[in-house]
Amino acid sequence: MDGAASEDLSDSAQPQNDDIRVYFVPYRWWKEAQDSNSAEGNATRGVLYSAMPGSAYNGPMKIINNIFNSDLVFNLRREEDSGQINENGEVGVSGRDYALVPGDLWLKALKWHTDSRAAMKDGRTFSAVEDDMADVYPLLLRLSVLRETNSLGVKVTKKDNAVEFFRRACKIFSVDSELLHIWDFSGQTTLLLSNDRNKLPKDCQRQSDQEILLELQVYGLSDSFRCREGKKDEMAAQQSNMASSSCGASLTMNGSLGCMNSNFVQTNSPAFCGSSGEAGTLGLTGLQNLGNTCFMNSSLQCLAHTPKLVDYFLGDYSREINHENALGMGGEIALAFGDLIRKLWAPGATPVAPRMFKSRLARFAPQFSGFNQHDSQGLSKNGGWDQYLEVWILKRSLKELLAFLLDGLHEDLNRVKCKPYIEAKDGESRPDEEVADEYWRNHLARNDSIIVDVCQGQYRSTLVCPVCKKVSIMFDPFMYLSLPLPSTTMRTMTLTVVSADGSTPSSPCTINVPKNGKCEDLIQALSSSCCLKDDETLLVAEIYNNRIIRYLEDPTDSLSLIRDGDRLVAYRLPKVTDEDRLVVFMHQRIDEQYIHGKLSSSWKAFGIPLVARICNSVNGSDIYNLFLKLINPFLITTEGITNNPDSSNKTVIDEVEMKDAMSPVLSEGANDIDEKGVNPDSDAGLQFFLTDDKGSTRDSKLVMDEPVTRLPKRLNLLVFWPEKKIEQCDIRLFGSLPEIFKSGFIARRPQESVSLYRCLEAFLKEEPLGPDDMWYCPGCKTHRQASKKLDLWRLPEILVIHLKRFSYSRFMKNKLETYVDFPVDNLDLSTYITHKKCMASNRYMLYAVSNHYGSMGGGHYTAFVHHGGDQWYDFDDSHVSPIPEDKIKTSAAYVLFYRRVVDV
């Protein structure tokens, strides 16, 4: 038997490459196409098998076992006179005769039938999605070689197949009542009988030494197919009433090219005779969710509709697989992806289960670049990918999967077998065009693949040292653009603005500043928000325990030094002159409390320090009058509200009474003075003492008419308030300092719409590097927080844009629901490209969107895909349905896929 099988191997159709799938079709349907080819001398010979009942169990309880065994089992016996039977034409009449054909021959037969039917109707050309297309579904068979009978054992189980497909298989392969014949034109059975398993296709998976799992693509044997055979005219009328959109798509299968137009999507309506498929047109095939894999399905659908990638993987891409690349994966990722593309673009209505693709990912943990930089901390390095994949699935990180897949495909398909070592050269004041071309040539010398051809661009990166002003320019490739949303690049800060002339009360001011900005950005935003005058300036200070602990005077200091829990005050001061000095007033009051049953009194700090400018020559009265001016906004009026300087209403005490009641203690020999020189009498006036910047010491008391000698640059004073004077002011305004940022401090508002162009401008905007991303300056010989500027230099044919919706911090993770308004038909990047001499078009058209619905902790991914004309489709795992174009713009858009539009 083995020898006979080997001799007939040349007569049967051989698979041309490892990726050919086997189709199971009605023999009559196949024979009609074969007869037309035989006239041209292209007939393909097959091997005939007859089916007979079989049993998976041959023991003493065989009859009982067969009753309770739900598996479908039969045997295939090879007919030695298959050639004569074929020539006499005695087989294929009864309808119980079938054929096994490879994918390329099946496609040719399908083209012949479609063209023949179209020619009889209106002369239309091959349309692989009409009538016969929505009828392909997978069926898994377990095959074993029965040497004693020179036959093949076939088993179809419910475990391997969907319930509906198993039910259909029971009808097709029923061998108890009528004889069944199967013609093999694929050569797979011959390979099995010859025991040459190394030549079996990847659709054949070895389960054990005795059993092999083979996936068949069953075509033309469902109820809908039989219904269409009898009601073609009725079907054509119903199809014409459907909303159709014509889309030209190139399908390259094993070297043969067919032009297919998508004209309709099959639904589950009765018009299609109960068909169970969800989509019946090329490329509109869903992916089954294998358990939290919607993020993988979404990204795969977007890539599976990338024009040149589809053409490439439907062609003979295996010639470019680089098996020697140490950075690659032995071509397995490319083969798995290519096989998945062919399944998604094969005519049929059954969602594909990407198990093979997922299993290939699980084999390459060591090759995953950045493994220790993502969610894999603490995972074992040996076999850690299985754990990493689980974390990946739980977090549904579509961006990481997309980056890994594109990089993996590039390395598997890299045409460069031996990467040369190239040392990057400095620009040396050469023109940017010359340096950029040199960088690009160096990149292509090491990286040359379909991914580089289609998906990679180049940007210019400029770094400037803030100290020595050293400029470094690099030209780096990019695979996709990761654009920040404005809310991720900006930081909301709330400060308290205090007037230094007593004209206005203190008030909170909320501003937005760059997250990695500097203090000068803070001053600029504050100046604009509070309408700062030309002769004014701002002094920002941090307040802690009712005293100033630091001044933010260096404009180059990073804003990252300011924490969300800090409390800052911005003092509005007149611009400084050489003779001006700064005076800082800190406040204290009597604090009474019982300690061990005894009343005890002490002085306690309260309120916001007040700051003002004074000239170089002042006395006690000048400082006293200045202080009265500063506290004027805090005085209580007769109506019970604080004083408004612009109001004509008089205060509780007029100016004369106020000066008398709040006059400072001048004499150091006054009665009832404590050991530190402070009079605790509630009837005493305000008392002023010189102190240090911490307010911890009490030096000499301020004397009214005597000049203050040896004025320092900052004069620090302690002001002691008696309770009677405190009652005349609203001291709550002294202590109500908001934090820089606190959730709930600002009312939550719906986030406004932002354009994609604005996101791109935020990406290209010059900004300082973060404190954790310092740049080593070759001029200073140390790390500096340099400013960085990115510019687009060379754009790819396929532009992938990732919107940074997920923000991470040390204590919080958040998803931004900002609605991004992105162009659909005309994304024009002409104004954003720096290389003006580039001849390629800078206009793009949207063809796919990956969406994320839900929160940071969970959610669901889907994809919107353009499929010709104005027709878009929603890919939600296995479900595929049309969606209007005006519905594709949502706040769930996460990754955008654009293709270049060629200018005419």
Q: Which residues are designated catalytic?
A: 294, 860
Buried b (16+ CB within 10 A) or exposed e, 776-798: ebeeeeeebbbbbebbbbbbbbb
Distance CA 246, CA 244 (A): 7
* Exposed/middle/buried for residue 870 (C-beta within 10 Å: 0-12, 13-18, 19+): exposed
- What is the torsion angle, in degrees rounded to the nearest 10, for the CA atoms of residue 284, residue 290, residue 291 and residue 295? -40
Picking from 132, 231, 152, the residue whose alpha carbon sits closest to that of residue 193 is: 152
Return the residue matching tokens 């065994």: 69
Amino acid letter at 282? L
Instruction: Please state at what angle helix 294-303 crosses helix 398-412, rounded to 10 degrees.
Output: 50
3-state SS class at 463: strand
Separation in Å, CA 300 to CA 338, 352, 535, 849: 11, 12, 61, 11
Give phi and psi for 824, each to the nearest 5.
-105, -50
Closest listed residue to residue 634, CA positions, set 611, 656, 608: 608
- Distance, in Å, from the CA atom of 522 to the CA atom of 529, rounded to the nearest integer, reads 11
User: Contact 805/852 with Cβ under 8 angstroms?
Assistant: yes
Residues 643 and 633: beta-carbon distance below 8 Å: yes
Quote the tokens at residue 643. Answer: 């004083």
Nearest to 37 by CA among 113, 144, 142: 113
CA-to-CA separations, 204 to 186, 189, 191, 319, 401, in angstroms, rounded: 13, 11, 11, 22, 28
CA–CA gap between residue 606 and residue 612 (Å, rounded): 18
How many helices and strands in the chain, by DSSP H and E? 24, 38
Locus of tokens 């035989």: 38
Residue in 543, 534, 460, 473 with CA at minimum distance from that of residue 791 = 460
Whole-angstrom distance, CA of residue 322 vs CA of residue 330: 7
First to last CA, the chain: 65
- CA 81 – CA 199 distance, rounded (Å): 26
The tokens 């700062």 sit on which residue?
532
- 8 Å CB contact between 611 and 498: yes
DSSP 8-state class, residue 642: B
Half-sphere exposure of 183 (CA within 13 A, CB side): 31
- Which phi-psi region, left, alpha or beta, contains residue 338 (left: φ > 0; alpha: ψ -120 to 50)? alpha
Sign of CA dihedral 340, 343, 344, 349: negative
Euclidean distance between CA atoms 878 and 882, whole angstroms:
14
Contacts 24+ apart (CB under 8 A), 808-817: 813/856, 814/856, 815/852, 815/855, 815/856, 816/485, 816/487, 816/488, 816/751, 817/751, 817/891
Return the sign of the alpha-carbon dihedral for residues 636, 642, 645, 649: negative
Supply φ then ψ for residue 571, to 5 degrees: -95, 125
Place of tokens 């009079």: 679
CA dist 538 and 451 (Å) reads: 53
